[in-house]
A and B are shown apart, each in its own frame.
Chain A
């Protein structure tokens, strides 16, 4: 057999060929380039166009950025330095405006000698956020997270220490009342937990704080809200809005899912009214109309009004996101909770909400990002947020005519905040992913 074969076929290889390297087009960078950039006619055109866009963009941005001038007193001085160094037709960024005015962009008109207070408050904020964001940290740190808002308030606004302490005392009284009331009856506990602190704040807190500050005047320099501005203001409004709007939004979402006719309709009306009207109109309502709606002579801080409005606004959006999560949960989960004999709040707290909130994390974080970006709108009712300050800086004689550098700086700051929030949401989603879908 094999003989016939040998005679009919001219040549038969008798040894194995040595193993060869794969063809050069199938390995390494070239393969990657071929597959990712030049796999077809359309792809090649796209690649060429995007290379053109990148080269064009970098060609404009890079020289501008690399030639940037960081040390000058005014725009004209900047131009002179540029003419000296690079010639008059070179493009050059004048970041001197940032080095000259960074403190204003960050703190507004906060007294310069007190800058350590907002900085310390910001560090405390980070330390208080850490145990909330990452549950690998010890849970006992959450106590600090609950105390930190009062410390931060005291640091930012200053004044007597007894004010924030009295507010804190109200919360402590409330929780004590809840604990003791719980031994009698659940409903009495809830009522006591609401009534006791409210009564305390209304009638007792003021006189006690006054008496105590007369006895022991402990306090630091008071700083008015109107002196705050820049990213400090954006962070204060943003963080307070975020913290307060989440619980409110969850309650609204539960209200909208409720079987009770009136509760349901009230929640729907609230959510739709808030969502149907732009934030600017609500801010104007807060600054112009609130004086009509409140008793004569009531006049409270514009910043507080803005925080309340932003909170209500964001909570309506969060309510819609959470409602989506609640609706996406299989009905069996609700029925299982009922079958276990849990009452409404227990079933929500232990079974339904943990799952529903997990589903709605991306939407909630998107709402937070939107809220943080929307803090820039307060410029229209006269608060000095970063954009308002950039207008102020551009209106001065030294920096008249500058715009790119300020916009780049402000945009970059917002980008860092918002982008890291988005990344955190991805991290959380991945961590809470349970495999089954």
Chain B
């Protein structure tokens, strides 16, 4: 017979707050909460005190005042009479523009480099290793400044494109690379171009619908439709037909040399080009490593099993390797995209007018509202990141291995 000790009858003692694991976590949290509240109230009271000492207030009205400065690259209508808010919007669009272009090019570069680094060709894999290590181990800022310096100091001046000047335009006289930037043909949207765009969007939607139909059909019956060719046909044929039926609503405006500079066409400034190339090359090197790790993570047995089932190499890649590799590749890929977007704030080095340069730069300097300006700037980046990473989490949950 063993005797059981009496269970303690006395009620709650104060020392239980520290020694009893049931209550200790509560104590810690309450203390942490109090400290946090104290800290923030200290910050806020300091800020209020400092603002009143400086004779400033905390007010976002400056966003509707006229900005009074010009922005050399804008995707929407903007003039120096527009408001600071509008200037911030122009900056936001510029940030998104360079981030989008960068993500596209970086993905293409990264996939190529990642696959080629695994190539059995010794020379190619070494060359790609040099590219990857070179870009991963040198600061992005240096690459941005270096590419900008090459663009603006080593490229020919516009007047060199005149007869006998030594420089010539590329791609059948349509693209000119000068030290003031790159001039490319600009599409001119004619009367019926909205219908054309509508047709194009509809055909893209059609491709998605067709693909899901083909997949369902394959799962139900086992028949495989030629998805790639039908998608390609859907992509091109309706748009090309509409283009000619509507009487060529979209034409190209080619850049032409007039006087000392190029006229017409689309002018891509050196700042945009340098930022875009440097961001893409830098992030591409990181994506290459992600792609390589993703491919290596699928064990060789999977390929061999697929061959044993009689699948052809193309199908093996599409149906067996890629779905497993993508599960490893996509999450870090998205975080690289996020990094690229945040790194686009290095635009400051080349004077590209992104949101940091407009809202967090000139606007802050002109209105003297650094508190509000930087707060809004941080908030913009924060919201962008949270939205993208939220989307990533949803995707991750959908492709996660369903384990028990």
Cα A181 to Cα B18 in complex, Å, equals 16
Beta-carbon nearest neighbor of B286 in chain A: A366
Distance in angstroms from A58 CB to nearest chain B CB is 12
Check if B137 sits within 8 Å of A37, measured CB to CB.
no
Check if A46 sits within 8 Å of B121, measured CB to CB.
yes
Beta-carbon nearest neighbor of A391 in chain B: B145
A272 at the binding interface (Cβ < 8 Å):
yes
Check if A43 sits within 8 Å of B137, measured CB to CB.
no
B305 at the binding interface (Cβ < 8 Å):
no
Check if A36 sits within 8 Å of B145, measured CB to CB.
no
Name A312-351 residues within 8 Å CB distance of B.
none
CB-CB under 8 A for A422 and B137, given A260-B25, A292-B51, A293-B46: yes
What does DSSP make chain A's interface, helix, strand, loop or mixed?
A: helix
A419 at the binding interface (Cβ < 8 Å):
yes
Contacting residues, chain A, for B25 (C-beta < 8 A)? 259-260
Q: Determine, out of A68-76, A139-147, A275-283, the stretch whose residues face the partner at the interface.
A: A275-283
Q: Determine, out of B28-36, B193-201, B265-273, the stretch whose residues face the partner at the interface.
A: B28-36
B100 at the binding interface (Cβ < 8 Å):
no
Beta-carbon nearest neighbor of A373 in chain B: B139
B366 at the binding interface (Cβ < 8 Å):
no
Cα A51 to Cα B124 in complex, Å, equals 9
Q: Determine, out of B159-167, B184-192, B215-223, B373-381, the stretch whose residues face the partner at the interface.
A: B373-381
Most chain A CB neighbours (cut-off 10 Å) among B51, B123, B349: B123
Cα A380 to Cα B385 in complex, Å, equals 23
Check if A37 sits within 8 Å of B122, measured CB to CB.
yes
Q: Digit string of B128-145 for contact with A (CB within 8 Å is 1, else 0)?
A: 000001101111111001
Check if A53 sits within 8 Å of B127, measured CB to CB.
yes
Q: Digit string of A395-418 for contact with B (CB within 8 Å is 1, else 0)?
A: 000000101000100110011001
Q: Determine, out of B63-71, B313-321, B340-348, the stretch whose residues face the partner at the interface.
A: B340-348
A83 at the binding interface (Cβ < 8 Å):
no
Beta-carbon nearest neighbor of A403 in chain B: B149
Q: Chain B: interface residue count, which band? A: 35 or more
Contacting residues, chain A, for B386 (C-beta < 8 A)? 272, 276
Check if B382 sits within 8 Å of A276, measured CB to CB.
yes
CB-CB under 8 A for A278 and B137, given A36-B121, A262-B33: no
Contacting residues, chain B, for A374 (C-beta < 8 A)? 139
Distance in angstroms from B298 CB to nearest chain A CB is 16
Most chain B CB neighbours (cut-off 10 Å) among A280, A295, A377: A280
Check if A36 sits within 8 Å of B122, measured CB to CB.
yes
CB-CB under 8 A for A263 and B28, given A281-B381, A293-B47, A296-B49: yes
Distance in angstroms from B326 CB to nearest chain A CB is 19
Distance in angstroms from B133 CB to nearest chain A CB is 7
Check if B47 sits within 8 Å of A418, measured CB to CB.
no
Cα A238 to Cα B183 in complex, Å, equals 41
CB-CB under 8 A for A51 and B123, given A276-B385, A276-B386: yes
Contacting residues, chain A, for B348 (C-beta < 8 A)? 280, 380
Check if A278 sits within 8 Å of B32, measured CB to CB.
no
Contacting residues, chain A, for B378 (C-beta < 8 A)? 277, 281, 285
Cα A272 to Cα B392 in complex, Å, equals 14
Check if A373 sits within 8 Å of B124, measured CB to CB.
no
A376 at the binding interface (Cβ < 8 Å):
yes
Distance in angstroms from B83 CB to nearest chain A CB is 22
B119 at the binding interface (Cβ < 8 Å):
yes
CB-CB under 8 A for A277 and B342, given A54-B127, A259-B25, A376-B139: yes
Check if B381 sits within 8 Å of A276, measured CB to CB.
yes
Contacting residues, chain A, for B356 (C-beta < 8 A)? 278, 280-281
Check if B137 sits within 8 Å of A415, measured CB to CB.
yes
Contacting residues, chain B, for A187 (C-beta < 8 A)? 18
Contacting residues, chain A, for B53 (C-beta < 8 A)? 296
B255 at the binding interface (Cβ < 8 Å):
no
Contacting residues, chain B, for A119 (C-beta < 8 A)? none
Check if A46 sits within 8 Å of B374, measured CB to CB.
no
Cα A36 to Cα B119 in complex, Å, equals 9
Cα A117 to Cα B382 in complex, Å, equals 42
Distance in angstroms from A321 CB to nearest chain B CB is 12
Beta-carbon nearest neighbor of A32 in chain B: B122
A222 at the binding interface (Cβ < 8 Å):
no
Q: Digit string of A348-384 for contact with B (CB within 8 Å is 1, else 0)?
A: 0000000000000000000001000110110110000
CB-CB under 8 A for A37 and B142, given A292-B47, A293-B47: no
Cα A419 to Cα B345 in complex, Å, equals 25
Contacting residues, chain A, for B51 (C-beta < 8 A)? 292
Check if A275 sits within 8 Å of B385, measured CB to CB.
yes
Cα A50 to Cα B134 in complex, Å, equals 17
B43 at the binding interface (Cβ < 8 Å):
yes
Contacting residues, chain B, for A260 (C-beta < 8 A)? 25, 28-29
Contacting residues, chain B, for A263 (C-beta < 8 A)? 28-29, 32
A221 at the binding interface (Cβ < 8 Å):
no
Beta-carbon nearest neighbor of A272 in chain B: B386
Cα A51 to Cα B123 in complex, Å, equals 8
Contacting residues, chain B, for A54 (C-beta < 8 A)? 123, 127
Instruction: Supply 16 further A-B pairs (C-beta < 8 A) apart from A35-B120, A36-B122, A411-B146.
Output: A37-B123, A47-B124, A187-B18, A260-B29, A262-B29, A276-B384, A280-B346, A288-B364, A293-B43, A296-B46, A296-B49, A369-B136, A376-B141, A380-B349, A387-B141, A415-B133
17 A-B contacts, Cβ less than 8 Å apart?
A: A35-B120, A39-B120, A43-B120, A46-B116, A50-B127, A260-B28, A262-B29, A263-B29, A272-B382, A275-B385, A276-B382, A276-B386, A289-B371, A289-B374, A369-B137, A414-B137, A419-B133
Interface residues of A (CB under 8 A from B): 35-37, 39, 43, 46-47, 50-51, 53-54, 187, 259-263, 266, 272-273, 275-281, 284-285, 288-289, 291-296, 369, 373-374, 376-377, 379-380, 387, 401, 403, 407, 410-411, 414-415, 418-419, 422
